[in-house]
Amino acid sequence: MSENYKTEEFKVEGEKVVAKIKEIFHEGNIRRVIIKDKDDKTLIEIPMTIGVVGALIAPQLAAIGAIAALLTEATIVVEKRE
């Protein structure tokens, strides 16, 4: 049995990256989150395991915050389970 995935992309300003990621995490069914810079270069890829919530995503959010501070614009690619 293979799982089906769909991807969504969101273009956001650098300072809004962490807020958007938190919103995405709360939606659930996330398999992976990728953050790219304005040149489409992947900066960070975060695989999500089933049940990862709350304090367990804090280290990832800290890393995302550090990266976001350097960006003026970013693309967030979200891979979701269908």
CATH code where residue 43 lies? 3.30.1490
pLDDT at 1: 44
Residue by residue, DSSP assigns 49-66 as -TT--GGGGHHHHHHHHH
For residue 64, report the phi and psi dihedrals to the nearest 5 degrees.
-65, -40
Encode pLDDT of 32-76 as tens digits. 889 999 999 999 888 876 555 555 667 777 888 888 888 889 999
Check residue 54 and give its pLDDT.
55
Q: How far apart are CA 57 and CA 53, in angstroms?
A: 6
pLDDT at 23 over 80: yes
Tell me the residue range of the domain where 28 lies. 5-81
Q: How many CA atoms lie within 13 A of 15 on its CB side?
A: 0
Count of structural domains, the chain: 1
